[in-house]
Amino acid sequence: MVYVLTPSLNKSFKFQSDWPYNNSQVYLIKSIIDDIKNDKERDLVEKDNSYMITVKVNYPNNRRLVRQVVIVDKDSNLKEVKVVDESDITQMKMTFTNIDTSPNIESGTFDLNSIMKIKQEQTPTPSPTPSPSTSPSASPNPSATPNPSTSPNPSATPTPSPNGNESNNQSETTSILDDFIYPLYIPSGTALANQEKIKKDDGERVIMTFDGEKPFLLVQETSSIPKELEIIPTFGEPCILTDTIAALTDTSVTWASGGVDYYLVSDVMSQDELLDIARSVSAIPTMK
């Protein structure tokens, strides 16, 4: 089970997933050890009073990441982990200055309401915050190309409340999208065929339809911020996407960033192609 807390939007997303355990993670010691144990062709080099262990990594949503270099000192203390691409260019780096193997964890550490309150005070801008604590919010099954006249995003549809009743939770703010955000990457033979801007009760939605060899639909809409915390069970696998966590399925990617909810769907592209487009939508629109 994976939980993603979004204090700035007063929402929490729950993924039915073993993502932290089935993927390489530079910040999880168990994951690093598993990668070392699982690579029978691992390379060990002694250098500068340290050991450098080079092993394969498993990042299903980013095939460009192929190896990691784990550096430990003579006493087997973990010091650094670098994840590199096929050209040996470092894409991620984690440095360890101190590791507490017997931390004192207070009983309220993973209390949802406490975490959300603290994070809301510390997070002035809308940006999902990954956390191993509790909570969720409702996302429809995006397995097929949606009808542009309907909302593909949980923030625009009634959300089941924790007690199973339909929520009457209303948005506190209304926002406007100043600009259309175009993907910086579009597959060859594909072009924008239509775009439409729609007014919502609590903001705006932009629908972009791309036709050609790799057709896809990109929807952007202003995030709604409910007055009360929403718990949203989310369909798909969590995926690190630039500054946020996305929900990835075989045909779609859904994420929120900078006060905007994004939904990308195509029934002809691979997950890697969908993520290439999603990562290229990096500009944050101006909200007012």
- Check whether 96 has a pLDDT greater than 90: yes
At residue 238, the pLDDT reads 87
- Check whether 155 has a pLDDT greater than 60: no
Distance CA 128, CA 270 (A): 25
Please give the residue that has the higher pLDDT: either 174 or 279.
279
- Check whether 114 has a pLDDT greater than 50: yes
At residue 269, the pLDDT reads 95
Q: Which residue has the tokens 């006060």?
A: 259
H or E segment at 140? Answer: none
Distance CA 82, CA 31 (A): 14
The number of C-alpha atoms within 13 Å of 72 and in the hemisphere containing its C-beta is 15
- Least confidently predicted of 9-18, 35-44, 94-103, 264-273: 9-18
Please give the residue that has the higher pLDDT: either 215 or 47.
215
Task: Collect all residues with Cβ–Cβ distance below 8 Å to 61 and sequence separation of at least 6.
Answer: 237, 239, 240, 248, 271, 272, 275
Long-range CB contact pairs, 98-103, < 8 A, 24+:
99/29
Report yes or no: 220 and 181 within 8 Å, Cβ to Cβ.
yes
**Predicted structure pTM score:** 0.64
pLDDT confidence of 213, banded at 50, 70, 90? very high
The residue-averaged pLDDT of 88-104 equals: 91
Percentage of residues of the chain with pLDDT beyond 90: 40
As a residue count, the chain comes to 288
Angle at CA 110, nearest 5°, toward 108 and 114?
A: 65
Query: What does the mean pLDDT of the chain come to?
Result: 77
Pick from 114-123, 145-154, 205-214 the range whose average pLDDT is largest.
205-214
Q: Is 240 exposed, middle or buried (0-12, 13-18, 19+ CB in 10 A)?
A: middle
pLDDT confidence of 120, banded at 50, 70, 90? low
Percentage of residues of the chain with pLDDT beyond 70: 76
The residue-averaged pLDDT of 238-254 equals: 87
Distance CA 11, CA 13 (A): 7
pLDDT one-digit tens code per residue, 55-77: 999 988 788 899 999 999 999 89
Q: Which residue has the tokens 């409340």?
A: 161
Closest CA to 71 of 89, 45, 39, 98: 45
